[in-house]
Chain A
């Protein structure tokens, strides 16, 4: 991977070619997003629209995870903490104080970024499995605290009041199309931030940290600050995803937004789609979420466990068959080309 960072610079030497490639990426993205935005007008079935919303939400959150886990290489298995923080900040501010969800999400996002910075300070001293286990444990502490904190509803959770349909409160009782567009908008923003970062100084730093933190440090990369920045951006958008989820389902409780399972589910689409890539999270979510939702409703109705078995086999199969992610089936990455060139 180190070769990516090195090779990218000479490859860009005809500055125009580089800019053209960047422009083409944007055009492709615009076309894809326009197509997705039109989808709910073609798919009018409410159940399928629900699947689409969840897919886009998971894609957005997973792409946020990807910023820290994929680009910077810090495998967090505790992102449910930030998702839960966003969901709870949005819900408490709206239900208790009447602050509209847009404000709540922003507060939740900023709060999560601050928490990520505060936690990053001790956690980024840990490496590998020790870092991952620490993130699991911290998220679990958060879950236990919320569980036993009556002000935020404790184990009972928070129920949103019913209001007339409005973009202001992000509440739509019957129409699901606005939710599709909000979830898509969130993904577009996260995608665009990733796109901007990818070729910025931060992007190169993060990939250098991921490949070999010590080598990067010796070359003058500010490793610790790189990790902190990635964690803050990642946590911010994960929390906004959580706030959206709360608005969408109108009811949250600790288990449904903060349990360990979600931390893995947020990492999964990016990993299976293609870790550290622009489109991996969306591709992964577009395969995983519909399969989960549809197999759950057709096979899991009686709690038979067949849906879980299918899901488990699918996750294992993709992980083992395509370690580089599904995207690698369709195109050879710069890394792959470089690896072929240098035996």
Chain B
């Protein structure tokens, strides 16, 4: 492998890894907050991509300009998913784990059906972003602009999330609720409200990822499933609930995937990621940055 080819693989892996991190962080955030794995996470991503697609068709604006709208829509969707479904799942007196899995799995199927009903099963592309199809040539290493943009957005989102968690009242309430759900009620924090906002925030983050992804990835009702699996692996690798873990694991996943694609047939590129994940959790069951 020449130095240039190596640089190419590294760079593409890194860019895609940052986008994976952005997809996964919302899942990790929600888990850290309330111990719930959202099995509709991929469908949130899929809906965000369709939202970008639909908005572009409606307004004829560039999908990048419409990103805030997609994020806002997903924030509302996440809040509604908590208030309408997950809130009740958490009240279950028996089999709470299974109820959470299947309540969110049912939601996933419902959202898939809704997308199929509204947009059909065809593969779609978001037309005409000025980023679409452009590449940056850095000394023979070609980097597509949509991915560069996505990686920058991801880093900015992680920076923003860090500020939000450390500097605002909401962030502190989130952190406090994550530490001790019972105690926060005593100091006057409405747990339900924090959870709803947490779901909104988690969904908004995956919404941002979806808006970025829509610029360069095809869209169909099942598109969420493949990314969701990567997101679960990323979250488990980084450690459930850890934001830093999601960032590091996302980048690792992107890099390993890029290198596997060089060694194995491209269709098997995920095998390397899965194998690495298993190797890590068998040695360190709580993931890289998780707490047991």
With an 8 A cutoff between CB atoms, is B92 at the interface? yes
With an 8 A cutoff between CB atoms, is B232 at the interface? yes
- A260-B229, A272-B102, A303-B121 known; A144+B110 contact, CB < 8 A: no
- A136-B229, A268-B102, A271-B95 known; A319+B113 contact, CB < 8 A: no
Chain A residue at minimum C-beta to C-beta distance from B240: A129
Which B residues touch A133, using CB under 8 A?
A: 37, 232-233, 236
* Bound-complex Cα distance A128 to B85 (A): 22
Are B275 and A275 interface neighbours, CB within 8 A? no
With an 8 A cutoff between CB atoms, is A26 at the interface? no
Q: Which of B92, B94, B240 has the most CB of A within 10 A?
A: B94
Are A316 and B110 interface neighbours, CB within 8 A? yes
Are A134 and B102 interface neighbours, CB within 8 A? no
Which one of B11-19, B170-178, B262-270 contacts A?
Answer: B262-270
User: How many A residues face the partner with a CB closer than 8 A?
Assistant: 48
- A144-B268, A147-B267, A320-B92 known; A129+B113 contact, CB < 8 A: no
Are A305 and B267 interface neighbours, CB within 8 A? no
Choice from B37, B88, B112, B240 contacting A305 with Cβ under 8 Å? B112
Which A residues touch B157, using CB under 8 A?
A: none
Are A128 and B282 interface neighbours, CB within 8 A? no
Provide the main secondary structure of the chain B interface: helix
With an 8 A cutoff between CB atoms, is B98 at the interface? yes
Chain A residue at minimum C-beta to C-beta distance from B282: A122
Are A320 and B233 interface neighbours, CB within 8 A? no
Q: Which of A136, A264, A309, A314 has the most CB of B within 10 A?
A: A309
How does the 8 Å CB contact mask read for B90-127 relative to A, with 1 for contact and 0 for none? 00111111110111011111111111111011000000
Which A residues touch B285, using CB under 8 A?
A: 125-127, 130
Which B residues touch A103, using CB under 8 A?
A: none
Are B103 and A316 interface neighbours, CB within 8 A? yes
* Bound-complex Cα distance A104 to B276 (A): 33
Give chain A interface residues in 132-149, CB to chain B under 8 Å.
Answer: 132-134, 136-138, 140-141, 144-145, 147-148
Chain B residues close to A by CB (< 8 Å):
31, 37, 85, 88-89, 92-99, 101-103, 105-118, 120-121, 221, 225, 229, 232-233, 236, 240, 265, 267-268, 270-271, 274-275, 277-278, 281-282, 285-287
- Identify the 5 closest CB pairs spanning chains A and B, nearest first: A308-B113, A305-B116, A312-B110, A316-B106, A315-B106
